[in-house]
Chain A
Amino acid sequence: MHRVFQFSSSASLEKLTGRRAHNLEELLEIVKSSPDSSIFFHTFSAFRKMSQVHVPYTTDFAAWISTHLDEAALAEKLMAIDLSEYSTIESLRSRLVEIVEGYRSENPAIFQKTANEPFYLYDVVRLVYLTDKFAYDLSSFRQLVDTVSIDSLYYHFIESRLHTKLETDDFSNWIEENDQHRDLAERIRSLDINIYTLEELRTKIIQLIDDHLENHRNNESKAD
C-alpha cells in the first residue's frame, strides 16, 4: 500500500546580481562567496536550458570556461562532477572550489588570463508549489510521469535532491515505500542524471516502470 504521491512543481525567476568574473581568479571568488541559490542555478543550468536536446556544457561555469577562456580541460573536469553525489550545495560548492584550485596549482598563469566576455552571476527566486496531480499506486504514478510538466519532473527528480538533502530523488523514495517495488526504486535511483536530458529521463523512468509492471504481471500469472 502506498501513501498518495501529490506531484509538486517549481519555477524560477532569474535575478541579475551585477557581479561578474573576468578571469578564473574572479570566478573562484564568485564560487566561494555567492549564495547557494546561485550555485544551484549555474550548476544545473543545462536541464533548464534545453529539456529535449543535449547541450555541449552541463553547467554555466564549464560553458564560460570553455567558450570564453578556452580552457577545455578545466571545463571537462567541472562537467564530470557527478551531481547525484552531492546532497547539499555546500558539498557541491566545495567540490567546485577544489577542482578550480587544483587547476590553479597546475596552471597558475592561466588564472590571470582575461576572458573575451565576462561571466555574469545570476541568482534565482524559486517557487515550489503543489499541483492537482495525485498518484495512488504505481500504475497511476506511471501515467502521471508521462503527462506532468517538465518543471514538475525537474523538481522531483533533480531539484528535490538538494531541497530535501537526500541523496536520492522523490520518485524512487516514494516507490521503495512498497517492498514489492524496491528493485524498481533502485533502478530509477541509478539513472545517470549527468548524461540525459529531462525528456530522456522521463522516457527512461517510464520504461523502467513498464518493464517492472510487466514482470510483476508475468510472475503473478505464473503463480496462478
Chain B
Amino acid sequence: MSIPKLSDYKAVVGRDVVEELYILASHVGNRSIKMVNSTAVGGGVAEMLHRVVPLLNELGIATTWDVIKGGADFFDITKAFHNALQGKEGHFGEEVFKTYLAYNEMNYHELEFEEDLIVIHDPQPAAMIHWKKNRKNRWVWRCHIDMSHPNQQLWEFLRPYVEQYDGAIFSSPLFSPELNITQYRFYPSIDPLADKNRDLEAAYVEGVLEKYEIPTDKPIITQISRYDPWKDPVGVIEAFKMARKYVDCRLLMVGDKAADDPEAEEILAKVNDAAGDDPDIKIIFLLNSIPTEINAFQRASDVVLQKSLREGFALTVSEALWKHRPVIGGAVGGIPAQIIHGYTGMLVHSVEGASLQIRTLLKQPELAKRLGDNGHQRVKDEFLITKLLKRYLLLLVALDHPGQPTILME
C-alpha cells in the first residue's frame, strides 16, 4: 500500500477536519520544523515520525527528520536513562554522564539547526541544546515517557539541559515533572490509515484466525499486550475464567516480550500455568508482530481488554476503540483519558471488576455496540494523527507569542 496523502484522510476523519488543517496552515505560513530522535526504525516515536513528517510537508511546513548517531556504549547508557527516568532506582557514575554528553556534542556538530522549530524527542539527544549558543529559533523537548517519578540523581543531571528549552511536551499531566519552562500536552495518536488500523477485508480477518487456529464458534475476548506483569496477563485469565461461568466465550492473548527483559520468560511461564490446558484460552507469543494481523485480532474480538495495573498511555486502547470494539481498561495511566467509564468503554480496578464487565458486555450487545461507537468517536475527536498535526501547527504559533492566552490571526 502506498503512503497515504493528507487528502486520503478525508474519508476517515471528515472533509471538514482536513480542510481546517489547510486553513490553519495557511495562517501559520511558510515555517519549518526539524525533528530529532535516536532511531529511524522500531518504537512508537519513529513510527509516528514516519507519518507526521510527510504530512506536515503537505501542509506547507518544511519538515525534516534527523536521527542521532552513537555507539553501543551510548545506547546502553540511554536505555538505562530511559528506565531510570521512568522510576528505576540506580546510581550513575560520572563517566556515564561524560559519555552521554560527548555523544550529544558530537551529534550537535554533525547536524544543522536552521529551522524555525527544533523538536528533540526523548532523553537521548536532549543535551544537544547546550551547544547551540545565541539561537534565534525555538527548541522544544518532546518527552514520550512517564517522568512522574524520575530517578533523582539522573533528573538533577538532565534538568538543567531540559530547562534551556523554550518548552516541553508531555503526553499527560500524570507524566510530567516540575519544570520552570512552559509545558504543553500532546496526546499520543494513532494513524487510522496505517496497517495496524486501516479497514480490512473480512476474508483477511478470517484468514488470520485460521492461521492461528482460533475458532469463531464463541465470542472472543482479547488482550493484545506485551507479556509484562504490569499488563496483568494472569489477572486477565482469572477474570476470563470467572466470567465464563456465566457466559461461554474464548480468551485470546497476543503479545511479545521486551528483548531486554529478563523477567519475560518467567512471566510467560506464569501465564501458561494460569491458562493450564483450557481449550478456550489461546496464547500467542509473537517475536515480530505483523501490523495487519494485530489489526485482524482486534477486529475479530467481541470485547478487547487492557487490564493494566500500571501504564504509559496505552494506545492499544485507542486502536481497539477506533475499530468500534467495546474496551475494558484498567483505570491507570492514560487509559482514563481514552475511556470515559460507561460512555466510551468500561474502567475497572480489579479482576472481579473485569470479569463482571466481560459478562455485561457479552450479555448486552446493544450496550457493547454503543460503547464501541462512542469510543470510535472519542478517538476521532482526540487521538488521531490529524489532531497531532494540528497541535504542531498551533505550537509553531504559540511559541511566537509567549504568555499570550489568545492569539488572533489576521
Q: How far is the CA of A36 from the CA of B404 in the complex (A)?
A: 12
Q: How far is the CA of A148 from the CA of B394 in the complex (A)?
A: 19
Say if the beta carbon of A149 comes within 8 Å of chain B. yes
Say if the beta carbon of A92 comes within 8 Å of chain B. no
Q: Are A15 and B182 in contact (CB under 8 A)?
A: yes
Say if the beta carbon of A109 comes within 8 Å of chain B. no
Specify the chain B residue showing the minimal Cβ separation from A148. Answer: B16
Identify A53's interface contact among B179, B341, B343, B405, CB under 8 A.
Answer: B343
Residues of chain B lying within 8 A (CB to CB) of residue A129: 23-24, 27, 408-409
Q: Are A125 and B377 in contact (CB under 8 A)?
A: no
Say if the beta carbon of B340 comes within 8 Å of chain A. yes
| Interface size range of chain A in the complex | 35 or more
Contact with A along B1-39 (1 / 0, CB 8 A): 000000000000001110110011001000000000000
Say if the beta carbon of A83 comes within 8 Å of chain B. no
Q: How far is the CA of A36 from the CA of B173 in the complex (A)?
A: 20
| Residues of chain A from 91 to 141 with CB closer than 8 A to chain B in the complex | 120, 122-132
Report the minimal beta-carbon distance from A64 to chain B, rounded to whole angstroms.
Answer: 11
| Residues of chain B from 157 to 195 with CB closer than 8 A to chain A in the complex | 170, 173-174, 176, 178-179, 182-185
Q: How far is the CA of A150 from the CA of B401 in the complex (A)?
A: 25
Identify B170's interface contact among A16, A130, A147, A152, CB under 8 A.
Answer: A16
Q: How far is the CA of A148 from the CA of B174 in the complex (A)?
A: 34
Say if the beta carbon of B378 comes within 8 Å of chain A. yes
Say if the beta carbon of B88 comes within 8 Å of chain A. no
Q: How far is the CA of A117 from the CA of B339 in the complex (A)?
A: 16
Q: How far is the CA of A133 from the CA of B344 in the complex (A)?
A: 33
Report the minimal beta-carbon distance from A67 to chain B, rounded to whole angstroms.
Answer: 8
| Residues of chain A from 45 to 94 with CB closer than 8 A to chain B in the complex | 48-56, 67
Say if the beta carbon of B374 comes within 8 Å of chain A. yes
Q: Across chains A and B, which 9 residue pairs bring their CB atoms closest together, nearest first?
A: A120-B173, A129-B409, A16-B183, A13-B394, A37-B405, A149-B16, A149-B20, A14-B185, A125-B398
Can you list 5 contacts pairing A with B, beta carbon distance less than 8 Å? A18-B176, A18-B178, A49-B381, A127-B406, A163-B406
Tell me the A residues contacting B by CB distance below 8 Å. Answer: 9, 11-16, 18, 20, 35-37, 48-56, 67, 120, 122-132, 147-152, 163
